[in-house]
Amino acid sequence: MSKKKYKILIVASSFYNDVTSKMINSAEEELKKNNCSYKILQVQGSLEIPTLISIKLKKEKYDGALALGCIIKGQTTHNEVIASTITSSLLNISILNLKPVGNAVLSCSNLKQAIARTRGSKNRAAEAVNAIISVLDNI
């Protein structure tokens, strides 16, 4: 548990709402355990997440941000392009703003895989929250 109280921005995609709602709940639980405050905003798709995080980090005071979303592979490799673009964008936002940005945008082959990553020890949202806090605790 963190000794400091941090304010975290959560931006979640509503596209696969059954998956992202579980991720939001997990992130909230982990943030509360660590005595962090947070604000949750939703966008339609995962590709919009970095844009909103970038805007909000410039305009409002947050210690870090968390990206929550889900990309499921279709008949092409378009999902790989989207996931790669989001990952690069989030890292750039983190470096430019000198704030940790956790990436819990899932890129899965199917919905079953995505749901599995929202539970138990493979819970990506909780892992991303703890990654953000670990960076903040070392600043």
Residue 122 has pLDDT above 80, yes or no: no
* List 78, 84, 92, 119, catalytic entry: 78
Q: Which CATH number fits domain 7-136: 3.40.50.960, 2.30.30.100, 3.40.50.1110, 3.30.70.270?
A: 3.40.50.960
Q: Classify residue 110 as left (phi > 0), alpha (psi -120 to 50) or beta.
A: beta
Mean pLDDT value across residues 26-51: 97
pTM: 0.94
Average predicted confidence (pLDDT) for the chain: 95
pLDDT (mean) for 104-117: 94
Phi-psi sector, 124: left (phi>0), alpha (psi -120 to 50), beta:
alpha
Q: Is the pLDDT of residue 7 over 70?
A: yes
* 78 a catalytic residue: yes
| Nearby residues of 89 by Cβ (< 8 Å), 6 or more positions away | 50, 54
Q: Using an 8 Å Cβ cutoff, are 8 and 36 in contact?
A: yes
pLDDT band at 65 (very low <50, low <70, confident <90, very high): very high
Q: Quote the CA–CA distance of 23 and 15 in Å, as a whole number.
A: 13
